[in-house]
Amino acid sequence: MHMTFRWFGRDDPIPLAHIRHIPGVSGVVSALYDVPVGAAWSRGRLEQLKAEIEAAGLTFAVVESIPIHEDIKLGRTGRDRLIANYCESVRVMGALGIPVLCYNFMPVFDWLRTDLARPLADGSTALAYDDRALAAVDLSRGTGDLPGWATAYGPDELQRLLGAYRDMDAGRLWENLAYFLERVVPAAEDAGVRMAIHPDDPPWPIFGLPRIICTGADLERLVALVDSPANGVTFCTGSLGANPENDLPAMVRRIGDRIHFAHCRNVRVTGERRFHETAHPSACGGVDLYEVLRALSDVGFKGPMRPDHGRMIWGERGRPGYGLYDRALGAMYLQGLWEGLTRGTEAGA
Ligand code: DNO
């Protein structure tokens, strides 16, 4: 395992130099955030980003993400050209030696929360989600009011997109995912890139849109769609852990060497489809990170791991979930667990 840290590029208030101060963090997880969805990434731009990361003494470990155009998810005419562009971006990554690509296949919205600053008992704030609050969201105003990092859509565009998904059920979404992977995974194999799908967050349908990467069975179906080591998973403990029926360590053991990236964070489930995020340690939330990491070390996980969302603490302001302080504490906690679990074993070598 090697510890990494997400960095949002020059717009990120956290400088790379500060990331470098976190003991043990060697890699950066980043992306070209301003390329329009569907366009191929330019080698020159990615090379520049890589050079900037390396100049700070870090490596470019993971691209998170190259977003997938809605026409691919919808299976519309024109998807072949968009998929060709996607393959080109994957080839560019491979040519620069960036080995892992985290992506998702969630219709319209990426991860979503209904509260960006829920006060916790310790005086910090954290991201929270409540299905009842989601039901009250007025989508006729576009995505502008939504707390999350969805691509921004104006009211008309959003209504058109939601309309296009009206007839889309989970079965067709799976078909479109298979169509995409059948074409992109061979390109990834050739380029030496490992694809790592991010589970749906939260792991259930929202706004009536299907979501298909929510359970252990879904992850197993995903890796079987194209049976190649290049077709793998980002194991996100917070996304999957929001559904108390998911047995995370068991899932790790079943997916095994198809886990190419680990996102580690903790959540406390407080009701039906209701949860808030917490500090990383097992004692702070409902996810037993000790057991998840034990399972990861047992399956010989050697990939990048990153501390996922943290609380906002010590008066820090900035991108909710992505402050420096609590994620840095998370990175230290996770490395401590890992050292304790793996010292003297092959995984800890
Ligand atoms: C949220 C992130 C996700 C993730 C994408 C990957 O904090 O984990 O936005 O980057 O779903 O495509």
State if residue 65 touches ligand 1 by the CB under 6 angstroms criterion: yes
Shortest-distance atom of ligand 1 to CA 64: 10
pLDDT recorded at residue 149: 58
State how far the Cα of 18 lies from the Cα of 3, in Å rounded to an integer: 15
State how far the Cα of 173 lies from the Cα of 163, in Å rounded to an integer: 15
pLDDT tens-digit profile of 62-101?
999 999 999 999 999 999 999 999 999 999 999 999 999 9
pLDDT tens-digit profile of 288-344?
999 999 999 999 999 999 999 999 999 999 899 999 999 999 999 999 999 999 998
State how far the Cα of 298 lies from the Cα of 282, in Å rounded to an integer: 19
State how far the Cα of 299 lies from the Cα of 1, in Å rounded to an integer: 12
Q: How far is the CA of 104 from the centre of ligand 1 (A)?
A: 7
List phi, psi (to 5°) of 238: -75, -45
**Choice from 72, 198, 308 to test ligand 1 binding pocket (greatest atom count within 8 A of CB):** 198
DSSP 299: T
**DSSP track, 117-166:** EEEPTTS-EEEEEEHHHHHT--GGG-STT-SB-PPP--HHHHHHHHHHTT
Domain ranges of the chain: 2-109+169-269+277-346
pLDDT tens-digit profile of 224-261?
999 999 999 999 999 999 999 999 999 999 999 999 99
pLDDT recorded at residue 145: 64
> In Å, how far are 90, 221, 274, 281, 305 from 120, measured between CA atoms?
41, 37, 15, 15, 26
**CA torsion through residues 263, 309, 108, 268, sign:** positive
State how far the Cα of 3 lies from the Cα of 152, in Å rounded to an integer: 31
Class of the domain covering 2-109+169-269+277-346: alpha beta
Q: How far is the CA of 110 from the centre of ligand 1 (A)?
A: 7
Q: How far is the CA of 200 from the centre of ligand 1 (A)?
A: 9
Provide mean pLDDT across the span 197-202: 97
